[in-house]
Amino acid sequence: MQNAKRIFVLSLCLLLVLAFSACRNNDGDTPEGDAKAGGEITVGIAADLDSSLDPHKSSGAAGTREVLFNVFEGLVKPDTDGNLVPAVASSYVINDEGDQFTFTLREGVKFHNGDPVTAEDVVWSVSRAAGLDTGTPIVNGLDSIASVEATDDSTVVITLKEPNIEFLAYLTVAILPAGYEQQDTAPIGTGPFKFVSRSAQENIILERFEDYWGEPALLDKVTFKIIEDGSALVMALQSGAVDLCAHLTSSQCAELGNMDILQGTMNLVQALYLNNADAPFNDVKVRQALCYAIDKQQIIDMTSDGAGVPLGSSMYPAFGKYFMDELTDYYPYDPDKAKELLAEAGYDESHPLSFTITVPSNYTPHVDAAQIMVDQLSKVGVNAKMEQVEWATWYSDVYQGRKFQSTVCGMDASTMTARAMLERFNSASPKDFINFVNASYDDAFNRAISAKDEDSQLQAYQECMTILTEQAANVYVQDLADLVAINPALTGYRFYPLYVMDLSGVGFRE
């Protein structure tokens, strides 16, 4: 059984400590060196992927998207700075009104099954994702497409219902072979790695795609190994069973003397997400009280030695101009103010506020943050109780079922648009799992997505973020530090302003 296995691993580690305690080196600096092609690595991930590997359907879970980023590409794709660069298309033209995109397809792009990418495939893929035939878009945000057509063998024209200046970011939607129906289990795309096999709850294996149109990947083979337990993950890294793992906490990294540690930001919004529909969080005063009662900086200091970035709304700094730093300190840490607001809402010492924080147990940063929150909340007389659940339970009960009071988790953006970040609080969105319903928010959001120029759009989005903060929709905490442990023999890992893990540049040093 798992427990017995853990004890075994633990005792093995104990032996290793005794044997090798003298041999640890902890210099940490990474000498530069060119990577060479070849070799295989194992990458640790904390949660199993979605049951479907179809990139159009599985856009919900960040962990799935992160892995599939290596397998699929859209007409354009994001680069490390968050800009969109042509991928399956070699160039594009946007008409003056901003409602028509003309893509010229790149020559020589092949699918993993060897077939060349044709204009027909592109039309099929975009129509499928946008639900042009069925009427219901599979991928959020593509509902603004009016038509997709191939004007010749290498040109595709996408027409929108109305101008949308953010739209290009949505054309990162994966291009799939037309008519291929097994994307759920045997996905085929155009990315630098091709899918080989998947074993649920265990691993997913990718191999280098030799006919990739661009710079081919360096590694021959990558195995993503699912290790849900944080401590087991650390042990796997210590033992060398896993070569690369992202999203670690600073305390986990402190144990990894044998690994190089790279630091970026995770590009997600960690918060105490509150179910706005039910008591006690249907009262804005209670929500605001919690905002005053939580000391973000302390959480950041304790979970990541101060490496995270404090946030005040559903936006993180990688978004550049959209990020509103002034909202970060909208609710400064003020326990007295919190008590005052709670008293106004009808909670006092004889009748304290009590609620449950549901946390996915496989994400140590969230479990740790929740523990600290419980401690901080107890100082203002709030009785918060933690309940750890498995990731699958969390996803079905909390995220999809919306049966929760509050939860600590991280929300990210599927595309590099403010819309992807903010759409989930629009009351019409199926992703509005916190049941946030606010007419002025919906109004501002709709103005933003139909804005004709960037300035008015930016303004409307900023209005949205301000409403989220003023209404204290959630208790925003931080953009977590993304600490990546990597085998010192490897080089070339790149951080993106999105929650993705690009392995195409990773390779063993010369």
Partner 1 sequence: MKKRRNYNLILGLALTCAMVGLIVMGWLWTPFDPNAMDPASRLQSPSLTHLLGTDNFGRDIFSRVLQGAGATFLIGVAVVLIGGVCGVLIGGFCGYYGGWLDDLLMRSADIITAFPSILLALVIISLIGAGKYRIIIALGVLFIPSFSRLVRGEVARCKSQEYVANARLMGAKDLRVLFVHILPNTFPVLLSSLAIGFNNAVLAEASMSYLGIGVQPPDPSLGRMLSEAQTYFFSAPWYALSAGCAIVLLILGVGLIADGLGGRRRRDRA
Tell me how far, at minimum, the Cβ of 364 lies from partner 1, in Å. 8
Binding-site member from 255, 397, 443, 470 for partner 1 (CB under 8 A): 255
Closest C-alpha to 389, from 354, 362, 422: 362
Quick check: 254 binds partner 1 (CB under 8 A)? yes
Q: Which is nearer to partner 1, 83 or 378 (CB)?
A: 378
> What's the rounded Cα separation, in Å, for the pair 249 and 127?
41
Alpha helices in 38-118 (DSSP H): 62-68
Tell me how far, at minimum, the Cβ of 300 lies from partner 1, in Å. 10
Binding-site member from 372, 411, 484, 500 for partner 1 (CB under 8 A): 372
Q: Answer for the pair 169, 140: CB distance below 8 angstroms, yes or no.
A: no
Tell me how far, at minimum, the Cβ of 371 lies from partner 1, in Å. 5
Q: Which is nearer to partner 1, 64 or 364 (CB)?
A: 364
Tell me how far, at minimum, the Cβ of 310 lies from partner 1, in Å. 15
Quick check: 161 binds partner 1 (CB under 8 A)? no
CB under 8 Å to 509, separation ≥6 — which residues?
A: 33, 34, 35, 36, 489, 490, 491
Tell me how far, at minimum, the Cβ of 361 lies from partner 1, in Å. 5
Quick check: 371 binds partner 1 (CB under 8 A)? yes
Quick check: 437 binds partner 1 (CB under 8 A)? no
- What is the Cα Rg of the chain in Å? 23
Tell me how far, at minimum, the Cβ of 41 lies from partner 1, in Å. 23
> What's the rounded Cα separation, in Å, for the pair 169 and 182?
26
DSSP class of residue 426? S
Quick check: 241 binds partner 1 (CB under 8 A)? no
> What's the rounded Cα separation, in Å, for the pair 245 and 450?
39
Quick check: 17 binds partner 1 (CB under 8 A)? yes
The CA distances from residue 158 to 101, 106, 150, 406, 414, in Å, are 5, 16, 9, 41, 21
> What's the rounded Cα separation, in Å, for the pair 406 and 399?
11
Binding-site member from 58, 144, 190, 252 for partner 1 (CB under 8 A): 252
Strand order in the sheet with 145-152: 89-94, 100-105, 155-160, 145-152
DSSP class of residue 318? G
Binding-site member from 230, 410, 497, 507 for partner 1 (CB under 8 A): 230
- Rule CB under 8 A: which of 269-298 touch partner 1? 298
Q: Which is nearer to partner 1, 302 or 489 (CB)?
A: 302
- Give, in degrees to the nearest 5, the angle at Cα 274 between 273 and 276: 140
Binding-site member from 105, 174, 234, 467 for partner 1 (CB under 8 A): 234
DSSP class of residue 478? E
Residue 63 structure tokens: 């962990």
Stretch that binds partner 1, among 85-93, 248-256, 308-316, 432-440 (CB under 8 A): 248-256
Quick check: 387 binds partner 1 (CB under 8 A)? yes
Total residues contacting partner 1 by CB under 8 A comes to 33
3-class DSSP state of 476: strand
Binding site for partner 1 (CB under 8 A): 1-3, 6, 10, 13-14, 17, 230-231, 234, 251-252, 254-255, 257, 298, 301-302, 361, 364, 367-368, 370-372, 374-375, 378, 385-388
